Chain A
Amino acid sequence: MQTTLDADTTPAPAHLANHPTHWRNRGYAHHWKNRDEDFEASKFGMWLFLTTEVLLFAGIFCGYAVFRMLYPDAWSNGSHYLDWRFGAANTVVLLISSWTVASAVRCAQLNKQKWLKINLIITLLCAVLFVFIKLKFEYYVKLGDGKAPGTFFTYAFAENPHEVLWWSLYYVGTGIHALHVLIGASLLGWVLYRSWKYQAYGPTEYLMVENSALYWHLVDLVWIFLFPLLYLIH
């Protein structure tokens, strides 16, 4: 298997050669034995954080399961109100963005500065597209119909008193997920900025790319489960 040792060895451009933020000039904290230990420990920290994120969404999934068992009719109605095509479109958007962000990590590992930036830009465009589809075709239309959570619910044609609960769960689940999309996009935007300005990431210094990518993949993972639960299961 190819390793980061096989990276492209193109030297830094003259104006960045001595810049402390350029990846070649980055050291590691003195309490680590070597660069690898620093990297692995930080990455493990990120995985621990991701487990807490999984537990956050587990609460929502558990609420979904409990209410679905108690009120299967309302849940069946709820999923029929949603159009699977928008859910599927957003799934494809997130999968592609997950691929480009994985490619971005690969490009940082191999010192492909140009493609690192291109991959990050495509990922950010996917994030914008995801939020756009969510707001324009889903939230906007549904809130316009009065299909809102809790006491904001004004839809006059509901069939089941527990449909309000479905909408609350729908907005909390997709809303917290969309918040994660925005946070992930901000992290990747920060990576793009530093990469653009300082070539801050390369074969020996790509932890921030790796961890932001892990966060982005988690956003994708959650949607992989939210999509069938909300749109396909009836």
Chain B
Amino acid sequence: MSNHDTHAEEHAHGHPVVSWQIQLGVLLALLFFTFATVLFYNAESWVEHAFEIHLPGWVNIVGAMSIATVKAILVCMFFMGLKYDKALNTFAMLFCLFCVGLFLGFSMIDLDTRDRVEPWRKAEASLGGTGKSLDSPPIDARFDANPSPSVSTGGLSIVEFRRQQKLEEKGSEEAFWSYYYKKHAEHQHSADINNYFAKLGYDHHVELPTANKAVPRHGLTPGLFAAVDPKEAAHDKSADDHSDDSDH
């Protein structure tokens, strides 16, 4: 105790204390924004199904991420106290976020410009970044990650490999799918979700993989693998065929 009694200046000021009214207000705002982002997500799905339109993908992303950013700013300013702190702490975090921006930004720029193959390096353009394809491997060998022959997927993707395994185990397509429906009926919440979707006015069954109802879309570089991978080519082609009647 005695050593700091000599420092009189420390008694001249205390640390700021955030009032409980502000803290409670911030919590309520955060809960409101959580509700808003969930509402936005459901409203967007509802609009798409009710009016049979497809909103552009960025609506979903920009809506969700901007609400998340507002929430993050609230947490940083009031709960973490950056508003009342020395500016140095805010500066450290902003500089870090700037670096994250560089990291994400340059990754995106790279992806965005991958399909631009300048003539001078055209001859060396090859699949992926592993350099494996320079040896012209058999098609789909990139899926066969395990070199041990006893567990080889035989050149199939693991998704297809597991499907084949289950088909063989069940014996027939029919048994395969009846197993699927039985398994998914066990999930207690699926009935609730179906009722909920029915209330919203469209039939959307979670027993079916909702994946089936995904909007067909392409990557930024459609056909990037098409030249070497017939499966990708077929996928791109079939997606094009269905682009007119893409809803169900």
Contact = CB atoms under 8 A, between A and B. Distances in A.
A157 B163 contact: yes
Interface string B9-24: 1100111111110011
Contacts of A33: 7
B53 interface: no
Interface stretch (A68-76, A122-130, A171-179, A181-189): A68-76
B93 A160 contact: no
Tell me the dominant secondary structure on chain A's binding face: helix
B37 interface: yes
B49 interface: no
B107 A232 contact: no
A3 B15 contact: yes
Contacts of A62: 103-104, 107
Interface string A44-79: 100110110011001001100110011111001100
A194 interface: no
B16 A2 contact: yes
A12 interface: no
Interface stretch (B116-124, B131-139, B154-162, B240-248): B154-162
B31 A224 contact: no
Interface in B1-42: 1, 3-4, 7, 9-10, 13-20, 23-24, 26-27, 30-31, 34, 37-38, 41
B131 to A, nearest CB: 18
Interface in A31-47: 33-36, 39-40, 43-44, 47
B37 A54 contact: no
A161 B187 contact: no
B176 to A, nearest CB: 7
Q: Which of B67, B79, B158 has the most CB of A within 10 A?
A: B79
B37 A47 contact: no
A158 B162 contact: yes
B14 A95 contact: no
A213 B34 CA distance: 21
A106 B20 contact: yes
A221 B165 contact: no
Given A30-B3, A43-B89, A106 B17 contact: yes
B18 A54 contact: no
B17 A6 contact: yes
A81 B206 CA distance: 9
Interface in B60-112: 60-61, 64-65, 67-68, 71-72, 75-76, 78-80, 84-86, 88-89, 92-93, 95-97, 99-100, 103-104, 107-108, 111
11 contacts: A2-B16, A6-B14, A51-B96, A54-B93, A70-B219, A70-B221, A76-B215, A77-B211, A106-B18, A106-B20, A221-B72
Interface of B: 1, 3-4, 7, 9-10, 13-20, 23-24, 26-27, 30-31, 34, 37-38, 41, 57, 60-61, 64-65, 67-68, 71-72, 75-76, 78-80, 84-86, 88-89, 92-93, 95-97, 99-100, 103-104, 107-108, 111, 143, 145-146, 157-160, 162-163, 165-167, 176, 180, 183, 187, 189, 193, 209-221
Interface of A: 1-7, 24-25, 27-28, 30, 33-36, 39-40, 43-44, 47-48, 50-51, 54-55, 58, 61-62, 65-66, 69-73, 76-77, 80-81, 83-84, 88, 91-92, 95-96, 98-99, 101-103, 106, 109-110, 141, 145-146, 151, 153-161, 163-164, 203, 213-214, 217, 220-221, 224-225, 227-229, 232-234
Top 6 A-B residue pairs of the complex, sorted by shortest distance between their CB atoms: A156-B166, A161-B157, A77-B211, A3-B14, A5-B14, A4-B14
